[in-house]
């Protein structure tokens, strides 16, 4: 498996042995004596992951199959199946990508590029889909069986693969955390996870777990709970009405219970998922649940080794370096930017104080994108990033599409030329930052 870091000056001896996660002969991750995290490939060569998600004949970044669309029609017109695989791999290598991201088509397996796998455990479980919460009900007695079933079906067949880096357990779950537990600018206040669970229908296991959690230490007294939370709470229905009206509880007493409940919820999620994955595939890394919005410190406290080897998040915004700092929690966890792109308004429309005058939107987008990614590459916790789409999504208009190819399969040079340059220099930038 060839990649740009073969000439890397680091060796296994440069890593702190106690930080190594994973098994020899497979992809691992570790921290150098200078404090940088790196992936290591199966031959123990330091490896920085530069990936693309959704490399498949449908151009979809959220699944491997879909009703035929414009990109699928173009692929069918231009290629027979093997020719498409060969052409796509050739393009990726030309642009100095070395990883196939989530939702890559199975026809790309064992073709010389490292890859990752998406499990999407929540899709197979009884779910909480209310307000800002989008999670499996981890208190449901069926949750461990779901994890076992998915791991047996997906992980067990891949346990000996030398091209698999590891598994994402889910994609952009909604953890519904209060604003005091998030970085600045992470969104408006809404009812948080504990409040949502307390307001579910009684048929949900999380409803009973939440009420037991808040009442057990108060001898079952709702009056005592209302006093501790400093809220009017004559009955449970009052709380449900507040939640339905999107009125969040934000008192100190509630927030204390919220943090503790969220941590227990996250512990059950990460620990149960990890146990099932390790049982069926002990050889590959667990790459977290691909956070979208920052989940809060209570959740991150459980998204930690040994249940998780690498924390991952989708960060298609200019705050990539800052998010790496937040998610790595001062360097205790390696961080993978599981999605990063610069085609959004924050890059094309946002004018920075030191920006030259007269830039077009495209020039501003590329200039800002280069600055953001170059800076992020210096962060000691960053072990890789993935561009979020292989092909433009339906309705996107070049040059502001999110794909590396357009829906007619032509190259999106507005992105690929800069990405090829940055990818080719990524390891050099990181090495220089460690001196």
Strand partners, 7: none
State the pLDDT at residue 66: 60
Half-sphere exposure at residue 184, Cβ-oriented, CA atoms within 13 angstroms: 2
The mean pLDDT value of the chain amounts to 93
Least-confidence region, from 106-115, 154-163, 178-187, 244-253: 178-187
State the pLDDT at residue 183: 58
State the pLDDT at residue 300: 95
pLDDT (average), residues 168-178: 96
Residue 374 pLDDT > 80: yes
Residue 153 pLDDT > 50: yes
Residue 352 pLDDT > 80: no
Q: How confident is the model at residue 433 (pLDDT cuts 50, 70, 90)?
A: very high
State the pLDDT at residue 206: 98
Q: How confident is the model at residue 14 (pLDDT cuts 50, 70, 90)?
A: very high
What digits encode the pLDDT tens for the residues 18-38?
999 999 999 999 999 999 999
Residue 301: Cβ within 10 Å count: 14
- The secondary structure of the chain, three-state, reads CCCHHHHCCCCHHHECHHHCECCCCCCEEEEECCCCEEEECCCCCEECEEEECCCCCCCCCCCCCCCCCHHHHHHHHHCCHHHHHHHHHHHHHHCCCCEECCCCCHHHCCCCCEEEEECCHHHHCCEEEECCEEEECCCCCCHHHHHHHHHHHHHHHHCCCCCEEEEECCCCCEECCCHHHCCCCCCCCCCCHHHHHHCCCCCCHHHHHHHHHHHHHHCCCHHHHHHHHCCCCCCHHHHHHHHHCCCCCCCHHHHHHHHHHHHHHHHHHHHHHHHHHHHHCCCCEECCCCECCCCCHHHHCCCCCCCCCCEEEECCCCCHHHHHHHHHCCCCCCEEEEECCCCCHHHHCCCCCCCCCCCCHHHHHHHHHHHHHHHHCCCCCEEEEEECCCECCCCCCCCCCCCCECCCCCECHHHHHHHHHHHHHHHHHHHHHCC
State the pLDDT at residue 4: 43
User: Pairing relation of β-strands 127-130 and 174-175?
Assistant: unpaired
Residue 6 pLDDT > 50: no
Q: How confident is the model at residue 2 (pLDDT cuts 50, 70, 90)?
A: very low
pLDDT (average), residues 2-11: 59
Tokens at residue 271, please?
A: 């620990």
Q: Is the peptide bond before 399 cis (omega within 30 degrees of 0)?
A: yes
State the pLDDT at residue 354: 77
What digits encode the pLDDT tens for the residues 238-274?
999 999 999 999 999 999 999 999 999 999 999 999 9
Residue 330 pLDDT > 70: no
CB-CB contact of 218 with 227 (8 Å): no
Residue 5 pLDDT > 50: no
State the pLDDT at residue 187: 56
pLDDT over 70, % of the chain:
95
Residue 321 pLDDT > 90: yes
More confident residue, 415 or 60: 415
State the pLDDT at residue 356: 84
Tokens at residue 346, please?
A: 């924050």
Contacts of 41 (CB under 8 A, 6+ apart): 1, 3, 27, 47, 114
CB-CB contact of 287 with 165 (8 Å): yes
pLDDT (average), residues 38-47: 97
State the pLDDT at residue 376: 98
What digits encode the pLDDT tens for the residues 195-209?
999 999 999 999 999
State the pLDDT at residue 341: 97
State the pLDDT at residue 8: 57
Residue 12 pLDDT > 70: yes
pLDDT (average), residues 415-426: 98
């Amino acid at each position: 498996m060839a990649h740009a870091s073969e000439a890397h000056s680091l060796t296994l001896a440069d890593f702190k042995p106690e930080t190594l996660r994973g098994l020899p002969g497979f992809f691992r991750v570790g921290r150098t004596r200078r404090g940088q995290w790196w992936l290591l490939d199966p031959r123990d060569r330091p490896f920085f992951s530069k990936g693309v998600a959704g490399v498949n004949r449908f151009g979809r970044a959220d699944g491997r199959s879909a009703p035929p669309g414009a990109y699928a029609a173009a692929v069918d017109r231009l290629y027979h199946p093997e020719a498409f695989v060969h052409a796509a791999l050739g393009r990726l290598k030309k642009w100095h990508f070395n990883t196939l991201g989530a939702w890559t088509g199975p026809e790309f397996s064992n073709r010389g590029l490292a890859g990752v796998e998406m499990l999407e455990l929540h899709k197979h479980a009884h779910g909480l889909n209310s307000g800002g919460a989008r999670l499996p009900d981890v208190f449901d007695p069926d949750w461990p069986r779901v994890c076992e079933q998915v791991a047996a079906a997906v992980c067990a067949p891949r346990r000996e693969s030398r091209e698999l880096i590891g598994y994402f357990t889910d994609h952009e779950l909604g953890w519904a955390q209060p604003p005091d537990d998030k970085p600045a600018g992470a969104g408006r206040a809404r009812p948080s996870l504990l409040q949502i669970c307390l307001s579910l229908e009684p048929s949900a296991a999380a409803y009973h777990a939440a009420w037991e959690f808040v009442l057990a230490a108060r001898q079952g007294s709702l009056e005592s709970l209302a006093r501790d939370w400093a809220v009017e709470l004559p009955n449970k229905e009052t709380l449900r009405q507040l939640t339905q009206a999107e009125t969040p509880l934000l008192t100190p007493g509630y927030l204390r219970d919220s943090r503790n409940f969220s941590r227990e919820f996250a512990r059950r999620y990460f620990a149960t998922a990890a146990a099932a994955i390790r049982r069926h595939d002990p050889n590959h890394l667990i790459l977290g649940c691909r956070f979208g919005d920052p989940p809060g410190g209570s959740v991150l406290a459980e998204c930690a080794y040994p249940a998780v080897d690498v924390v991952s998040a989708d960060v298609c915004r200019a705050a990539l370096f800052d998010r790496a700092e937040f998610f790595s929690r001062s360097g205790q966890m390696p961080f993978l930017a599981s999605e990063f792109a610069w085609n959004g308004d924050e890059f094309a429309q946002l004018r920075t104080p030191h920006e030259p005058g007269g830039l077009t939107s495209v020039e501003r987008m590329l200039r800002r994108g280069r600055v953001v990614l170059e800076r992020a590459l210096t962060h000691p916790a960053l072990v890789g990033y993935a561009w979020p789409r292989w092909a433009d999504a339906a309705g996107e208009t070049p040059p502001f599409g999110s794909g590396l190819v357009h829906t007619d399969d032509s190259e999106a040079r507005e992105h690929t030329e800069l990405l090829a340059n940055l990818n080719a220099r990524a390891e050099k930038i990181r090495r220089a930052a460690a001196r």
